[in-house]
């Protein structure tokens, strides 16, 4: 099964957290799409088409599940777009939010995002939810 891993990519620490999710998924026998690994980062405006085609058209092609890292004061415009796209395509979304509760994040996190996402709050809980999802497949 293919899993799209979404989240902010701007800093090395953000990418490292996404790579930890990638390793967890692989340990469960899943194939993953990790945008910065599989397509690269947008270095300038000339990369926009490559990023869109790679991340969205290719990354979501066989996608059966999206896992999104949602830590921080904002989730990022690209991540928000990816989650909306996944929801519109009927692809389940599991969010990982390790820095605070959803109740505390409600002020700046979209109610739409909260409603459409199954939240987990640790890597251990994420692993449990992925296993539960696999049993449904």
Give the domain ranges of the chain.
Answer: 2-136
Task: Assess contact for 125 and 95: CB atoms under 8 A.
Answer: no
State the Cα–Cα distance between residues 57 and 63, nearest whole angstrom: 11
- Which tens digits make up the pLDDT trace of 22-39? 999 999 999 999 999 999
CB atoms within 10 A of CB 100: 13
**Dihedrals phi, psi of 120, to nearest 5 degrees:** -125, 160
Residue 49 has a pLDDT of 96
**Which residue pairs, CB below 8 angstroms and at least 24 apart, start in 114-120?**
116/83, 116/87, 117/68, 117/70, 117/83, 117/93, 118/92, 118/93, 118/94, 119/70, 119/94, 119/95, 120/94, 120/95, 120/96
Using the Cα atoms of residue 124, residue 126, residue 132 and residue 137 in order, give the sign of their dihedral: negative
CATH of domain 2-136: 3.40.50.450
State the Cα–Cα distance between residues 89 and 47, nearest whole angstrom: 25
Sequential pLDDT tens for the chain (137 residues): 899 999 999 999 999 999 999 999 999 999 999 999 999 999 999 999 999 999 999 999 999 999 999 999 889 999 999 999 999 999 999 999 999 999 999 888 889 999 999 999 999 999 999 999 998 87
Residue 107 has a pLDDT of 85
Rounded to two decimals, what is the model's pTM?
0.95
Task: Assess contact for 47 and 40: CB atoms under 8 A.
Answer: yes
Residue 136 has a pLDDT of 82
Residue 96's Cβ-count burial label (10 Å; 0-12, 13-18, 19+) is buried
């Amino acid at each position: 099964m293919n899993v799209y891993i979404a989240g902010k990519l701007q800093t090395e620490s953000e990418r490292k957290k996404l790579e930890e999710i990638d390793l967890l998924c692989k340990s469960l026998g899943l194939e993953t799409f990790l945008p910065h690994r599989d397509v690269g980062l947008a270095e300038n405006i000339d990369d926009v088409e490559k990023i869109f085609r790679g991340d969205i058209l290719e990354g979501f092609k066989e996608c059966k599940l999206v896992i999104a890292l949602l830590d921080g004061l904002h989730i990022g415009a690209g991540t928000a777009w990816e989650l909306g796209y996944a929801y519109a395509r009927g692809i389940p979304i599991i969010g990982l939010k390790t820095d605070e509760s959803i109740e505390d994040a409600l002020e700046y996190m979209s109610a739409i995002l909260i409603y459409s996402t199954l939240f987990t709050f640790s890597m251990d809980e994420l692993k449990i939810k992925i296993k539960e999802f696999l049993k449904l497949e």
